[in-house]
Amino acid sequence: MDLTIFLQALITGILMAGIYALVGIGLTLIFGVVRIVNFAHGEFVMLGMYVTFWLWKLWGIDPYVSLLITMPVLFCFGVLVQRFLLQPILRAPDLAQIFMTVGISVILMNATLFLFTADFRSVKLAYSEWVWRVGGVSIPLTRLFAFLGAILLAGLLTLFLTKTDVGKALRAVAQDREVSMLLGINPERMYLLAVGLGAALAGAAGTLIVPFFYVFPTVGVVFGLIAFVVVILGTLGSIEGALLASLIVGVAESLGILFAGSDLGLVVVFAILVVTLVFRPSGLMGQR
């Protein structure tokens, strides 16, 4: 095995890990605060991709600029989903909550299929093909930007959660709902914020990959599944864990593609899930 090919795969994996981290953090934030497992999270990524694609296609808006639109749009979408679809079933059994988010996922996936057909779409940008060569390894700039953008957003979220009052309130609700209510925090508003933020982060991840990834209605299934593995490996509810786990998943997927074939990357990710559940079901940050 040629060392440069190996390094190339390693770097591709690390760069992709930034995106997985962003999707996973959103998922784990929603779970941590609202205690709902969002099976529609991959579809939030897909929506972000389509918003970005159409902004570029119709008005020529650069994908990175469109972050300023995608994130607020997805934030509002998440808030609406929480207010009208999740809020009514918060006290329902787990099973009903899973059914609900699965139903939302099915609707979003197929509404997109219905509106935009199953066509694979992609954007063409002046810098699409730009590559940065380091030694024998070539790094596509769009992937590097996606990674840097993801790290920047994850950092901003961490600052928000640790330094602002609203962020602290959000964490308080995640830690103990009853006590946070005694402190005068309205948990239902925090739920709206958490789902909004989670959706906005997923949408941002979608935007960041559009320059080098095909846009199609079922693209979210893969991201949803990977996000789940990231979140379980990184311990449900833990943001640091999600960051670490996304690195493992991204690199493993990339090496899996290198060694097993381009269509088996997800099988490797599934294998990670199985291994995690067998040996450390509470995840890397877990107690047990």
How far apart are the C-alpha atoms of 142 and 219, rounded to whole Å?
19
Torsion of CA 6, 230, 45, 34, to 10 degrees: -170
Residues of this chain that bind other proteins (CB under 8 A) = 37, 39, 85, 88-89, 92, 94-96, 98-100, 102-114, 117-118, 217, 221, 225, 228-229, 232, 236, 261, 263-264, 266-267, 269-271, 273-274, 277-278, 281
Of the two residues 125 and 268, which places its CB atom closer to other proteins in the complex? Answer: 268
Question: In the bound complex, what is the minimum distance in angstroms from residue 223's beta carbon to other proteins?
Answer: 12
Question: In the bound complex, what is the minimum distance in angstroms from residue 195's beta carbon to other proteins?
Answer: 16
How far apart are the C-alpha atoms of 264 and 252, rounded to whole Å?
11
Are 166 and 157 in contact by the 8 Å Cβ rule? The answer is no
Of the two residues 11 and 232, which places its CB atom closer to other proteins in the complex? Answer: 232
Torsion of CA 160, 236, 229, 234, to 10 degrees: 70
Question: In the bound complex, what is the minimum distance in angstroms from residue 75's beta carbon to other proteins?
Answer: 21
Are 231 and 21 in contact by the 8 Å Cβ rule? The answer is no
* Backbone torsions φ then ψ of 139, nearest 5 degrees: -110, 115
Of the two residues 203 and 217, which places its CB atom closer to other proteins in the complex? Answer: 217
DSSP states of 201-228: HHHHHHHHHGGGS-B-TTHHHHHHHHHH
Of the two residues 6 and 99, which places its CB atom closer to other proteins in the complex? Answer: 99
Question: In the bound complex, what is the minimum distance in angstroms from residue 82's beta carbon to other proteins?
Answer: 14
DSSP states of 35-47: ----TTHHHHHHH
How far apart are the C-alpha atoms of 216 and 121, rounded to whole Å?
7
Would you tell me the crossing angle of helices 141-163 and 165-175 to the nearest 10 degrees? 80
**What is the CB neighbour count within 10 angstroms for residue 278?**
8
Question: In the bound complex, what is the minimum distance in angstroms from residue 274's beta carbon to other proteins?
Answer: 7
Would you tell me the crossing angle of helices 63-81 and 187-209 to the nearest 10 degrees? 150
Question: In the bound complex, what is the minimum distance in angstroms from residue 276's beta carbon to other proteins?
Answer: 9
Are 37 and 97 in contact by the 8 Å Cβ rule? The answer is yes
Of the two residues 95 and 182, which places its CB atom closer to other proteins in the complex? Answer: 95
Question: In the bound complex, what is the minimum distance in angstroms from residue 241's beta carbon to other proteins?
Answer: 15
Of the two residues 7 and 271, which places its CB atom closer to other proteins in the complex? Answer: 271
Question: In the bound complex, what is the minimum distance in angstroms from residue 60's beta carbon to other proteins?
Answer: 28
Torsion of CA 195, 229, 287, 193, to 10 degrees: -10
